[in-house]
Amino acid sequence: MLLNQKNLRVVVFVSFLVISVIPVLLLSWWVMDSARDNEYEAVEEKHLLVAKNLSLALSRYAQDTVAILEFIAGHSLENIDSKFRKLLHSQNISSLRIFNKSGEQVSALSTADISVPGALTSAQLSALKQAAQNTETVFLPIQHDSKGQPRILIITPLFGDRQYYLVAEMTTAYFSVLQSRIKFGVLGHAAIVDQVGNVLAHPKAAWVRSIKNISKVSAVKRMMGRDTGVEQFYSPAKKADMIAGLTFVEETGWGVMVPQPVAELETRIEQIKYATMGVSAFGVLLAILISWFLSNRLSRPTQQLSAWQEAVLDSADYCVISTDTHGVIATFNKKAEQMLGYASAELIGKKTPALIHDPNEVKQYAETLSNEFGELIEPGFEVFVKKARAGLIDEREWHYIHKNGSKLPVYLSVTALRSVSGEVIGFLGIGTDLTERKAMQANLREAEMLYHALFDNAGDAIILLDTEGTVTDCNPATLELFGCTRNQFTGKSIDEYSPELQPDGLTSLEKARKILQATVTHGEQFFDWLHARQDGAIFDAEVRLSKVEIKNKPYFLGIIRDITERKSLEKKLAFQAGHDSLTGLPNRKSLHEAFPRHVKAADALNNSIVMMLLDLDRFKEINDTLGHHLGDQVLAQVGPRLRNRCPDEAATIARLGGDEFALIISTDITTENLRLMAEDLVEALRRPFHVGGFNVTVGASLGVAIYPEHGKNSHELLRAADVAMYSAKKRSVGVAFYDPSTDEYSTQRLTLANELNLAIQEKQFVLHYQPKINIATGKVSGLEALVRWDHPREGLMYPGSFLDIVEMSDVINLFTQAVTELAVADKKRMLTMEISQTIAINLSARNLIDNTCFDAIESSLARNNLLPSEIELELTESAVMQDPDNAVEIVNKFHSRGIKTAIDDYGTGYSSLSYLRQLSVSALKIDRSFVIEMRKNTQDSAIVRSTIALAHSLDLKVIAEGVEDSETLELLKEMQCDEAQGYGICRPQPLDEIITWIKSN
């Protein structure tokens, strides 16, 4: 029994061993023989599938890039906002540049915080010119840019005539990312090349940087020939025989291959061989275990292949779903889970249409396919794979239905999966989420709607011109501005709605062409233009013209604004700036500006230039008796009378101010005839003026100066004519010619006049002070500031030597400001020494007509933190009476600010009591000529006494000037005069000496 059992065990063992070993050995030989084929077959399918997936990703990448660039090609680079920059940057577009067909850069844009690359390299330029022959977007082979970086140039034509091209520079970042995701075994990898075999992505980064060309590799040659399949070849990089799946990118010609060393496959086969031998050795005793072990070992390569496929699919940025031939889902990658909200386990093993597709879309497409194939196709899985079964790729937009019921747009590509024998074994669907793209398209539509809203509702006229300058479109504001219909305006050249000539003398057609060309060459143009409305009315316009591109076509966009009112106002202001508001005659400024024109015209005719200065006599009496309004009417008639009598029609007749007029005349007559002409002008003004029902008569004194004998410019001539005019007035002769021999100070005065500006700048003017005393108490009541010129050549000069020159010059206002600043600064210093007396500052007649005088004085006080009551102002009676109305206004203005004013040299200016009562003055200063002689001349004494009484009746303080001795001071005290000043009290002295004098007295 034991033997039998033992024998049985042996038999069973031997039998099981025989039964096990023979099948195992046979299986081993079969496995070793077929494992190689299976391994190669599995690897080929796997590598080719991965290569196709990479190719599809690159195809989408290229399509998206082309779509973006073609959109941008319809717009100007200056309008690209930050969103588009980010979009371009996300597509690895480093820069955009526009080149003409000669390769010259026209415009550029960087998509990141880096500078735009420099000029194209010679190789890039050559490639650009060759690609310029195409009218579609072209991807050029990778080349180094000017900084040595590998870049792919993408060229998109801007215009149909291929004159300009949008050139984008693409980095290899995206290729590197895709390549880095693919790894098989130890040395298995992915490689991407361009259409000529240059490396775009490879594990050896140096090959990318150096743009390694591997076109001689057999697999690369097949990709360059746009072939798809599997290839074995020798790899110099890996120094090994490789097997690779390879394909190409349809849009760009790029090649994609996924190689793996053959040795790694042989290693796998060797592992199977050894495992099989082990199973044979232990097959008898461990048949079940060995069978399990062998099945496990045999299935491992397939499991690894599945894991590799899953890793690749899950790393893809698009939805990948594969099915069997009946529509049952076999694979469902991570992106599909994200897009649809399902876990892969929820859908694998189920049919797709009813779960993730819109049934209405499926039904509609079924009808389309039925018409296309001529057979009834029921809504269902066959709708998606009908074309794929026929060997086609079905690509179109669908809507996936998310697990939560929402819809999302996708672009779905369906292809058939085939076995080695070509039999369809399943289908592969690759879906790209179009949500962002649809949003971008919606934003574009919204932007276009906004543009049209702005275009149609803009207040300014907006027109669109083609490259020939013909109007193709306009907004409603344009039709309103030009008073026409759209049909009348469009289709016409813009010069047809313009006068024949523009202000610069060019025809509207000629100038329009020049501006259009300038816009093309230099960019936006901004200019003034004369337009004509439909009814022929001419109007001034302001135009902004720029280049734009709409649907890849070049246009000019013009914005037109009617500036007729502005031009009219500018002309009015320009006229007012150069003309007298009362008479409409040119003013002093225009007189000087006209002088060079007269000189030029006279030189051409060999004529002489004459400057005449005319002053009306007894005009003040008209103002005093009849009023200023009738006096103004007289002044308004002077210009026409002079014009009617002047033989030179081109003469400039100007009003200088008050009752002074000047003429510039070009003539060829003799001096004697010139005198007759001047006397005729004077005689014309002696005839009665009819104003306000009165016949009034005035006289005139006229001075004549001749160019260049009496002056080299208008200022010198006017001064000479002024000297002559005062000579005529003094001698009551009507007309006088300038005589240099009688103007003993002319050279010196001109020299001093020319030195005034420098004197002010170098602070050559200084102040001396003369005290005023209260006659009743003997105390110092104030100081009068008296200016001196510390001349570097002439020494200390008194006012009589230069003040009249200052008053006749253009620096009078600067001079007054300088004197005021000195006086205010001295007053501030006095306050620090507890000396409280006020300082009186003298103003001239010219200051009364200067609107800035008041502001300058107030500003000086404010800067030095002084109260208005710390200073006083003095105006001569004659200065007040030159323009009484203006004097009343400015004196009252000073009074309202707390600044006191005194009338200086009273008794010499024929002032009327009415004006004296209107002036808000605080004191009268009796002229020294009356004070000096009043002890000897009873008439002067009576004048002084009556002046004091008059002033006191008006509640004014009286100050007597020219007090030379104590007897005069006593007499003034008897007359109840308030204050006195003069050499008998104290001579004018510098401030330090006056301060010493005050403290000692």
Q: Tens of pLDDT along 454-474? A: 666 777 888 999 999 899 989
Strand partners, 655: 661
pLDDT above 70 covers what percent of the chain?
84
- Which of these, 543, 497, 492, 548, lies nearest to 520 by C-alpha position? 548
Q: Which two tokens stand for residue 105?
A: 């850069």
The owner of tokens 């660039």 is 69
Where b means 16+ CB within 10 Å and e means fewer, 442-462 reads eeeeeeeeeeeeebeeeebbb
Strand partners, 700: 616
Q: Name the pairing type of β-strands 183-184 and 188-189.
A: antiparallel
Instruction: Identify the pLDDT of residue 608.
Output: 87
Instruction: Identify the pLDDT of residue 454.
Output: 64
Instruction: Identify the pLDDT of residue 547.
Output: 92
- What sign has the CA pseudo-torsion 645, 646, 650, 651? negative
| CATH class of the 318-439 domain in this structure | alpha beta
Round to whole Å and give the CA distance between 824 and 827.
Answer: 5
Instruction: Identify the pLDDT of residue 950.
Output: 86
Round to whole Å and give the CA distance between 626 and 695.
Answer: 11
- Which of these, 800, 813, 796, lies nearest to 760 by C-alpha position? 813
Instruction: Please tell me the total number of residues recorded for the chain in this structure.
Output: 1001
Least confident span in 54-68, 304-318, 356-370, 804-818: 304-318
Instruction: Identify the pLDDT of residue 35.
Output: 60
Instruction: Identify the pLDDT of residue 580.
Output: 87
Round to whole Å and give the CA distance between 147 and 566.
Answer: 53
Q: Tens of pLDDT along 571-606? A: 877 787 788 888 999 999 899 999 999 999 888 888
Q: Is the pLDDT of residue 923 over 80?
A: yes
pLDDT above 90 covers what percent of the chain?
31
Q: Is the pLDDT of residue 431 over 70?
A: yes
Instruction: Identify the pLDDT of residue 8.
Output: 39
Please give the CATH number for the structural domain made up of 458-563. Answer: 3.30.450.20
In sequence order, which residues have a C-beta less than 8 Å from that of residue 738 and are 6 or more positions away?
A: 703, 704, 705, 706, 710, 720, 721, 723, 724
Instruction: Identify the pLDDT of residue 764.
Output: 94
- Write out 13-36 in H/E/C secondary structure: HHHHHHHHHHHHHHHHHHHHHHHH
Instruction: Identify the pLDDT of residue 4.
Output: 37
pLDDT, the chain, mean:
83
Q: Is the pLDDT of residue 402 over 80?
A: yes
Q: Which two tokens stand for residue 299?
A: 């299935």
Instruction: Identify the pLDDT of residue 989.
Output: 95
Instruction: Identify the pLDDT of residue 280.
Output: 60
Count CB neighbours of 931 within 10 A. Answer: 27
Spell out the domain ranges in the chain.
93-171, 174-266, 318-439, 458-563, 579-743, 750-1000
Round to whole Å and give the CA distance between 105 and 339.
Answer: 43
In sequence order, which residues have a C-beta less than 8 Å from that of residue 473 and are 6 or more positions away?
A: 463, 464, 490
**Any idea what DSSP says for residue 116?**
P
Q: Tens of pLDDT along 317-369? A: 788 888 898 889 888 888 888 888 898 888 888 886 667 888 888 888 888 88
Q: Is the pLDDT of residue 957 over 90?
A: yes
| CATH class of the 93-171 domain in this structure | alpha beta
Q: Is the pLDDT of residue 137 over 50?
A: yes
In degrees rounded to 5, what are phi and psi of residue 255? -110, 145
Instruction: Identify the pLDDT of residue 447.
Output: 61
Round to whole Å and give the CA distance between 932 and 950.
Answer: 20
Round to whole Å and give the CA distance between 604 and 650.
Answer: 14
Q: Which two tokens stand for residue 914?
A: 């009415």
Least confident span in 63-77, 173-187, 278-292, 837-851: 278-292
Which of 618 and 980 is assigned the larger pLDDT?
Answer: 980
Least confident span in 143-147, 235-239, 796-800, 926-930: 235-239
Q: Is the pLDDT of residue 884 over 80?
A: no
Instruction: Identify the pLDDT of residue 295.
Output: 47
Q: Is the pLDDT of residue 126 over 50?
A: yes
Peptide linkage before 261 cis (omega within 30 of 0): no
- Which of these, 699, 747, 696, lies nearest to 720 by C-alpha position? 747
Q: How confident is the model at residue 840 (pLDDT cuts 50, 70, 90)?
A: very high
Least confident span in 69-78, 775-784, 795-804: 69-78
Please give the CATH number for the structural domain made up of 579-743. Answer: 3.30.70.270
Q: How confident is the model at residue 382 (pLDDT cuts 50, 70, 90)?
A: confident
Cα 315 to chain center, whole Å? 47
Where b means 16+ CB within 10 Å and e means fewer, 593-631 reads ebbeebbeebeeeebbbbbbbbbbbebbebbbebeeebb
Which of 317 and 963 is assigned the larger pLDDT?
Answer: 963
Count CB neighbours of 171 within 10 A. Answer: 15
pTM, to two decimals: 0.35
Task: Return the CATH fold of 750-1000.
Answer: TIM Barrel (3.20.20)
Round to whole Å and give the CA distance between 167 and 144.
Answer: 15
Mean pLDDT, residues 770-795: 94
CATH superfamily of the 174-266 domain: PAS domain (3.30.450.20)
Instruction: Identify the pLDDT of residue 615.
Output: 92
CA distances from 772 to 76, 769, 782, 843, 852 (A): 79, 10, 5, 18, 29
End-to-end CA distance of the chain: 165
Round to whole Å and give the CA distance between 435 and 57.
Answer: 17
DSSP 480-508: HHHT--HHHHTTSBGGGGS-SB-TTS-BH
Q: Are 257 and 224 in contact (CB under 8 A)?
A: no
Q: Tens of pLDDT along 658-709? A: 899 999 998 887 888 899 999 999 999 999 999 988 888 888 999 999 998 9
φ/ψ region of 132 (left if φ > 0, alpha if ψ in -120 to 50, else beta) reads alpha
Mean pLDDT, residues 73-100: 76
Q: Which two tokens stand for residue 711?
A: 């002056």
- Which of these, 499, 507, 504, 557, lies nearest to 530 by C-alpha position? 499
Q: Is the pLDDT of residue 452 over 70?
A: no
Q: Tens of pLDDT along 273-321? A: 676 666 666 655 565 555 445 445 544 554 554 556 666 666 667 888 8
Instruction: Identify the pLDDT of residue 667.
Output: 86
- Which of these, 617, 582, 613, 612, lies nearest to 697 by C-alpha position? 617
Least confident span in 899-903, 919-923, 992-996: 919-923
Is 579-743 in the same CATH topology as 458-563?
A: no
Round to whole Å and give the CA distance between 896 and 891.
Answer: 9
Q: Which two tokens stand for residue 500?
A: 């024949």
Q: How confident is the model at residue 31 (pLDDT cuts 50, 70, 90)?
A: low
Count CB neighbours of 936 within 10 A. Answer: 8
Cα angle: 372, vertex 374, 375; to 5 degrees: 115
Instruction: Identify the pLDDT of residue 12.
Output: 43
